[in-house]
A and B are shown apart, each in its own frame.
Chain A
Amino acid sequence: MGLLYKQLLKQIARCKIFVVLLLLLTMLTSLSFFFVIFSIDGNMDILNTLPDLTENQQLYRNALKTNTTLAYAFFVSLAGLTAFVFVMFFYRFYRSNRKQIGCIKSLGFKDSALRTCFIAFVTVLSIAGAVLGLIGGYFLSSVLINANTRTYSVTGLIKGVSLSNLIAGLAGSTVTFCITAFLCYSFVRGKEPGVLIAGNQNYTRFSFVLRAANKISGIIPVKNKFPLRIALRKPHAVLMIFAAAMSFCVCMILGRSLNISSQSVFDSQTLGHNYAYDTTYSEYQINPALQNAVMYLDSPVMLNIGSYDIEQIIIGLYNLNRVYELQNINGDMLPLPEKGTVYINPGLSEIYGVNVR
């Protein structure tokens, strides 16, 4: 059995481009799923534990539910597309290796042994692709989490996946592709070895196809007749090209419509939410009623560096809270400067070399 596996797997490996394409597609299938799911599951769990949700949290939860549906829709669509490519691969593989498969069957190997070998190959490929997609999805989900943080003004979002979705993402695609491989074996299952070795075609069907190709090519101008006739002799290929073009168009339209709908959601969330308040006082405040208020100093100054006069603002803070925080150039939060020290705007420091002595 080991030699059978060696022969068949090496033969499959000869179709390098197809194998790489299938690996990429299996990876993309699980990536598209985990990319979205990682940004949903953990945060949904948190939202579900909260007794009361703010308006934004409500909106965010609704968006997560919609995203879950979208994730499944993409997963199923891509799994279907990948399964279709698997079908094309096996169709081509079995056609071009009829004699070898016939020879192996003539040696007394059963269909079940050959089928198991092909399913084993698909299982390994699918699991590899699914795991790569899982890892990629984990890292890429940061993009969605950042987008959600900005869109819904919610903080503390985490990455997480539920066990059921983990199993669905890993096993769902693998099982689908294994079933596809199982069904694809029907291209050669039950075919007699003698027929496979002889390479006999179904001449009745072929002559019908040929007649149809002749008839269609007969009605078009002579200069296009020959290539069309050749193309129509392979109706499967024409059908597959049509299906591939259709799938591409569907994916493009789906992607574009998602982009437009996401923009609409973003606009609806941000429209009218840009408020401006005048929080300045004309003189120093000592009113005890304002003790709990968040106060800061904001003073325009003119910085003189050599021959340059640069307009700057000095800001004085005595407390950091949910409204005000200091960030460095990377967006990381900084602690309050200690007494007698200051932070300098990174731009000033970098462009004009301003330092404090």
Chain B
Amino acid sequence: MKTILKAENVTKEYGKEKVVKGISLDVYEDTFTVILGPSGSGKSTLLNILSGLIRPTAGTVQYEDTIVSSFSEAQLADWKRAEVGNVFQNYLLLNNLTAEENIKIGIPPDKPPLAIDRLTRILEIDGILDKFPAQLSGGQQQRIAIARAVIKGPRLLFCDEATGSLDETNSKKVIELLHSLKSTFGVTILFTSHNGQIAETADRVLTIKDGFLHTDMINENPISAGDIAWG
């Protein structure tokens, strides 16, 4: 498997507190990787470092042949705009834009986007594009957020507790859609969660404990999202 993203000895400190403690890992192309860990274990911080949302205190993050962690602000912004999509637990849609505009704002000016009709059909949001975020349910908002992250055709999609605010039905739907996007558009997905059931659908599962990478397992027999026994 080809490595698309590589972290080496990544550390993050907030004041005297060390949140991520020297983690090294490779992320493989076209895989769905779940990072598991309890609240406060450092999984979201690790995901943010890998996606360029925060800089590591020490260590490096490499995207293909480029050291991303040493990018300038402008270079990092360009990289995120072109290659990286983020989905957050609280959706973080822009409240003054319609669903369609929220999706379109994710399109970089110098890169052809994916076909919005096809994407919105896959995500089952084609009927709500004229609505504002406040008019949508949590599940609908999260699907809009996913569309916004994916419309640019990113090579990496980072989902931080993307089902954390959703009920079982919507959570399963989101997981199912992410798998579908991975196979349709060839997106490499990293997904953090504290829910072990979601990990059963992943190609690879990393567990984080107290800021350390605890286990790294390849899931030989991933189940489909519909078969998740929600705990």
Q: Is the CB of A110 within 8 A of B101?
A: no
Q: Is the CB of A108 within 8 A of B81?
A: yes
Known interface pairs A3-B104, A204-B15; A194-B80 also in contact (CB < 8 Å): no
Q: Is the CB of A200 within 8 A of B53?
A: no
Which one of B73, B78, B97 contacts A190 once the chains associate, using CB atoms below 8 Å? B73
B93-116: which have CB < 8 Å to A? 94-97, 101, 104-106, 108-109
Which one of A3, A106, A109 contacts B101 once the chains associate, using CB atoms below 8 Å? A3
Nearest-CB distance from B97 to chain A (Å)? 5
Which one of A102, A103, A105, A197 contacts B77 once the chains associate, using CB atoms below 8 Å? A105
A158-204: which have CB < 8 Å to B? 190, 192-195, 197-198, 200, 203-204
Minimum CB distance partner of A14 in chain B: B96
User: How far is it, in angstroms, between the C-alpha of A107 and the C-alpha of B105 when the chains are bound?
Assistant: 8
Known interface pairs A105-B77, A106-B53; A99-B92 also in contact (CB < 8 Å): yes
Known interface pairs A106-B53, A108-B108, A194-B53; A3-B97 also in contact (CB < 8 Å): yes
Q: Is the CB of B108 within 8 A of A192?
A: no
A193-235: which have CB < 8 Å to B? 193-195, 197-198, 200, 203-204
Q: Is the CB of B97 within 8 A of A107?
A: no
Q: Is the CB of A108 within 8 A of B77?
A: yes
> Which bracket fits the contact residues of A?
20 to 34
Q: Is the CB of B55 within 8 A of A192?
A: yes
Q: Is the CB of B73 within 8 A of A103?
A: no
Residues of A within 8 A of B15 (CB): 203-204
Known interface pairs A110-B73, A194-B48, A204-B15; A104-B54 also in contact (CB < 8 Å): no
Q: Is the CB of A192 within 8 A of B105?
A: no
Minimum CB distance partner of B54 in chain A: A194
Which one of B53, B82, B84 contacts A192 once the chains associate, using CB atoms below 8 Å? B53
Q: Is the CB of A104 within 8 A of B94?
A: yes
A225-278: which have CB < 8 Å to B? none
Q: Is the CB of A110 within 8 A of B74?
A: yes
Stretch in A5-13, A59-67, A118-126 with 4+ CB within 8 Å of B: A5-13
Q: Is the CB of A103 within 8 A of B97?
A: no
Minimum CB distance partner of A3 in chain B: B105
Residues of B within 8 A of A200 (CB): 14
A interface with B by C-beta (< 8 Å): 1, 3-4, 6-7, 10-11, 99-100, 102-112, 190, 192-195, 197-198, 200, 203-204
21 A-B pairs with CB atoms under 8 Å apart are: A1-B109, A3-B104, A7-B94, A7-B96, A10-B96, A100-B95, A104-B94, A106-B51, A106-B86, A107-B80, A107-B81, A107-B106, A107-B148, A108-B82, A108-B108, A109-B77, A111-B73, A192-B53, A193-B54, A197-B92, A203-B14
